[in-house]
Amino acid sequence: MIRAATVDDIAEIRAMIRELAEYERAAEQARATEEQLRDALFGEHPAAFALIAEDDETRQTVGFALWFPRFSTWTGTRGMHLEDLYVRSHARGGGHGKDLLASLAAICEQNGYERFEWWVLAWNEPTIDFYTSLGVELLNEWTVCRLSGEPLKELAARAPADLNQTPAL
């Protein structure tokens, strides 16, 4: 079963984020707290949304998908960015990942989102094979860019002093 996450799912979502980070060999980077996730998903201005996959028989949480809207200047429409998709190892192969992706695709269709995009680690061949089996187009000509930490601070310091700052959303 796939359902919208509730505030009661925060601890499980955080646990699965840690499990995903361990799988992706980056456990030290998964620093989000339950409080941060609660605010991001259920605060006054949600930054993201989540779906939960439950085992049909046991009702145990076996996976999640966390996404947020994005905007394309080329199409002039919103789209969806899938930040995380994770199915616990014992539940893989049971259709939960496919069900989560199908549910996200349905959200895209319902909202007129023309693009549904996400990243996958280049070394994660089983996941890449799964995605391509669904007809996913791999955009190999694009490179992800990230600015964080000290380089982000240094670049921000170069902003004009009279910058009209946009409030955080």
Q: How far is the C-alpha of 66 from the C-alpha of 29, rounded, in Å?
A: 17
Structure tokens at 155: 């670049």
Q: How far is the C-alpha of 53 from the C-alpha of 97, rounded, in Å?
A: 8
23 is catalytic: no
**Cα dihedral sign, 61-121-37-79:** negative
Dihedral angle of Cα 130, 132, 76, 143, to the nearest 10 degrees: 90
Q: Name beta bridge partners: 68.
A: 81
Which of these is catalytic: 23, 86, 113, 131? 131
> Catalytic residue numbers?
131
